[in-house]
Structure 1
Amino acid sequence: MDHETSRRRVVAALFAGGATGMAGCGGEATSGTEPSPTASPRSSDPSPTDTVMDEDTDTPSPANPPDSVGLETLATGLEAPVDIAFAPDADRRYVVDQPGFVYVHESGGLRDEPFLDLGDSVEGGSEKGLLGIALHPEFAENRRLFVRYSAPSREGTPDSYSHTFVLSEFTATDDGSGVTADSERVVLEIPEPQRNHNAGSLAFGPDGYLYVGVGDGGGAGDRGTGHADDWYDGVDGGNGQDVTENLLGSILRMDVDGEASDGKGYAVPEDNPLVGREGLDEHYAWGLRNPWRFSFDGDDLFVGDVGQDHYEEVNLVEAGGNYGWNVKEGTHCFEADSCPDATPGDVRGGEPLVDPIVEYPHSGDGVSGVSVIGGHIYRGSAMPGLQGRYVFGDLGAGGRLFVASRPDDGGQWSTEVIPVTDDDAEKLDRILSFGRDAAGEVYMLGIGENGGGLHRVVPAE
């Protein structure tokens, strides 16, 4: 496809580090590869896990996960595809390319002209760029959509900071095939002190509110320029444990349909956990480092949070939850021999530091990697062995998917590697994002032998 090829090649060069800059960091620049930030499609209520009959007892038991899966390639030629949204009223997908473009994918492939062109508004490099998209729950009627991108520093961003986080609303054309930039309405801006840990996921929850992932501000260890002092003395910083000074290191929850107040581009839901308490009202959950990709499955919110040097994690996030960063990396004390499992009593009543449902190391056999890429609960029909299981991956794909299964005791989920068939493994050297369509089938976005592409996870041949 020819998307103003020469122009995009120049832009892509600016973003070359973004798709490989997401791993744990030992300084402001990352030492490995952290992802550049899928907006999750609104999911229906969870359906029961598919079962097979146990031949000895004639009682239902969960179907086994497949030994391997394949990838059906739907589109190539992108630079760094980092998100996808599914039109509710047409066979159409909106694919986000990090340099600042959203493309329409239909049965005939990718349209040549971008659905949304923000190439002149987006600041690139490192993990910056156009990072997330979410369609309004009534998109078929109102054509409203929301995107998250990095912009050059705007008014209110200190001179010493890197750039400005922007969340904006746009309106699509009646046929859903295009957007004009002059329809932009800025919903939220956040000063970003460093160039990395930008998160970027957006998703509407089943409550109709918009959830927004915000990284801890970047650098390493949640400390340095732009990182607040918190209650924990074991490690300096940081924004993950502070809910009063800024909106960094958190999941935000906002009402984009309510009447805005105080000069904001949104209303705050009255039942947000810090409304009427100390802290900024937009916070829904905190203690996060770089919540790169998240998704809903019914009421459950699954958040992949990229770790630093040793561990990656997936959290099942609830209102008011504190997920530990920078006291902990996963379940382990961060830069300390011992650490608390809760805040002090005078810090929001001594709230617990909630452990992840999935944790894996940066080295070793089996499930390991450098930067978690949050996925989706599989609700499709093509692969019964995945039904009800969480399908996700790592930036360093290595021909692998990961599958996590919910335990009966409410503890950590069991996790295993599902290989991608040899014929398809090279399609994704790096996984950048996942998506799920209305039928519950799972899609992967990333970079492989044919550049950036969109692929559907299918049964192995």
Structure 2
Amino acid sequence: MAAFAGCAGDSGETTPTRVSTDDPRVGVETVASGFVSPVDVAVGGGETFVADQPGRLHRVGEGGATDVALDLRDAIVSLSGYEERGLLGVALHPDFPETPRLYVRYSAPRRDGTPEDYSHTFVLAEFTRTGGAFDRGSERTVLEIPQPQSNHNAGSVVFGPAGYLYVGVGDGGGSGDSGRGHADDWYGANAGGNGQDTDANRLGSILRIDVDERGAGKPYGVPTENPLPDSPYPEQYAWGFRNPWRFGFDDIDSTAAGEQAETLVAADVGQNRYEEVNAVEKGGNYGWNVREGRHCYGSESCPTETPDGAPLVDPVVEYPHEGDGVSGVSVVGGSVYRGDALSALRGEYVFGDWNAQGRLFVATPDGDRWPTRVLPVDGLDPYLTAFGSDSSGELLACTSQSGGLSGTSGRVVRLVPA
């Protein structure tokens, strides 16, 4: 069978890891606090906005004071305890504030077109700023996706270098990319497979759309360069993801000649054993649910390519759920550091794990396996949810003392020399 050409089990060891004694001691300083669960930061036009998962977007003012720039709590599905739904992502238009528009990812109660036994509706919406706040009455729904289960909702919305919006979509939830709302894909050894089926739905993919255009009966344009122009869902840019939690573009030496290229770097939360970070290319298939990281999922042997010969692309970073050094339970994508305060980290990819335990991770972009090390951080809260960068390129992190939607211990911190 062609689908099993190149069958393999674990494709070598995991990403090389270590704890470095060469890195500077790193601490944190509070930028803003009092959030329930901050999950995203948007910076533009000299302003900083923080998305709090229960549904409010805050603007950070002088001295860390905050005011509400948009309140969506009454538009979001009912939330409690540990949640993967809510207000999950935010992006300012690339020309903000001249073009005063905001793009928001949130979880709404079931809308028309979402089956009754599904959990909720994925909504990507546009809001226009009027004065100091974004006008609720200006909401324009850009995209809706039925979400069968309550988890694996992803949430990143990021503008790329050409001004297109990239939107992360999880595999639909549950375990193993199977069950309610999951398609049967080409790989029969594992049930389900939204990540491997680009015709059944948009789940398990990173989408690319043009929010400044309209076309083909859609409230957005589809870039002509997208890799699947004849698909029922030509918005798809790359696929084979389980739950891409935080991604962004960075200038990375991605060629043998050392040329700088804008690379989309996406973290993808694993199932039982491995977490991963991918250098994403147009039309790339990142393996889920055939593979988890560089390893077979659910079997000792599995294919390394699809039936038509397309490769299942391995991650550039992988780490296990158990072990010394770089390990954890749920990866949180970060960014390449471009600031000045921590010069020894310049050009390194800094990311982390939801179960932070007072540490972040640092990977050196180099080839197809990025050496990765632990970065201890003084004063880092136990739970990490997202990263951002301020206008000077200094790294911001969203953290809290609680792993669920309770209390107001959430804060945004800046990484600084300890």
Match of 1:316? 279
Match of 2:34? 77
8 Å contact 1:67–1:419 — kept in the other structure? Answer: no
Partner secondary structure for residue 363 of structure 2: strand
User: Which is richer in strand?
Assistant: 2
8 Å contact 2:40–2:51 — kept in the other structure? Answer: yes
Partner secondary structure for residue 246 of structure 1: coil
Q: Distance in 2 between matches of 1:117 and 1:70?
A: 32
8 Å contact 1:231–1:241 — kept in the other structure? Answer: yes
Residue of 218, 222, 225 corresponding to 1:271: 225
Q: Distance in 2 between matches of 1:314 and 1:300?
A: 12
Q: Distance in 2 between matches of 1:250 and 1:437?
A: 28
Match of 2:105? 148
Match of 1:281? 234
Q: Distance in 2 between matches of 1:256 and 1:265?
A: 8
Match of 1:364? 323
Residue of 183, 198, 203 corresponding to 1:228: 183
Match of 1:110? 65
> How far apart are 1:65 and its partner, in Å?
5.3
> How far apart are 1:279 and its partner, in Å?
5.1
Q: Distance in 1 between matches of 2:210 and 2:135?
A: 24
Q: TM-score, normalised by structure 1?
A: 0.81
Counterparts of residues 26-37 of structure 1 (less than 5 Å): none
Match of 1:3? none
Residue of 150, 163, 167 corresponding to 1:212: 167
Match of 1:295? 248
Residue of 127, 136, 140 corresponding to 1:170: 127
Residue of 306, 330, 333 corresponding to 2:296: 333
8 Å contact 1:64–1:385 — kept in the other structure? Answer: no
8 Å contact 1:150–1:166 — kept in the other structure? Answer: yes
> How far apart are 1:64 and its partner, in Å?
8.6
Partner amino acid, structure 2, of 1:147: V
Residue of 89, 108, 119 corresponding to 2:73: 119
Residue of 391, 394, 398 corresponding to 1:445: 398
State the aligned residue count.
Answer: 381
> How far apart are 1:405 and its partner, in Å?
0.5
> How far apart are 1:406 and its partner, in Å?
1.7
C-alpha deviations, 1:316-365, integer Å up to 9, x for none?
101000000000110010001100100012xxxx2100000000000110
8 Å contact 1:103–1:110 — kept in the other structure? Answer: no
> How far apart are 1:110 and its partner, in Å?
2.8
Counterparts of residues 399-438 of structure 1 (less than 5 Å): 399-407=358-366, 410-421=367-378, 424-425=379-380, 428-438=381-391
Q: Distance in 2 between matches of 1:142 and 1:406?
A: 34
> How far apart are 1:160 and its partner, in Å?
1.1
Instruction: Return 5+ residue gaps in structure 1 as ranges.
Output: 1-62
Partner amino acid, structure 1, of 2:27: G
Partner secondary structure for residue 195 of structure 2: helix
Match of 1:32? none
Instruction: Return 5+ residue gaps in structure 2 as ranges.
Output: 1-19, 252-261, 403-407
The list of structure 1 runs, each at least 4 consecutive aligned residues, that deviate by more than 6 angstroms after superposition, is none
Q: Which deviates more, 386-395 or 447-456?
A: 447-456
C-alpha deviations, 1:241-292, integer Å up to 9, x for none?
0000100000000001113332x1101000100013x452000000000001
> How far apart are 1:416 and its partner, in Å?
0.4
Q: Distance in 1 between matches of 2:102 and 2:69?
A: 12
Partner amino acid, structure 2, of 1:397: A
8 Å contact 2:315–2:368 — kept in the other structure? Answer: no
Match of 1:48? none
Match of 2:416? 458
Partner secondary structure for residue 240 of structure 1: helix
> How far apart are 1:447 and its partner, in Å?
0.3
Q: Distance in 2 between matches of 1:401 and 1:438?
A: 21
8 Å contact 1:76–1:452 — kept in the other structure? Answer: yes
Q: Distance in 2 between matches of 1:268 and 1:79?
A: 36
| Structure with more relative contact order (C-alpha pairs < 8 Å, separation 6 or more) | 2
> How far apart are 1:234 and its partner, in Å?
1.5
8 Å contact 2:33–2:64 — kept in the other structure? Answer: no
Partner secondary structure for residue 137 of structure 2: helix
Partner amino acid, structure 1, of 2:318: E
Match of 1:5? none
**Closer, same or farther in 2 for the Cα pair 1:440/1:376, shift >3 Å?**
same
Match of 2:312? 353
Q: TM-score, normalised by structure 2?
A: 0.89
Match of 2:346? 387
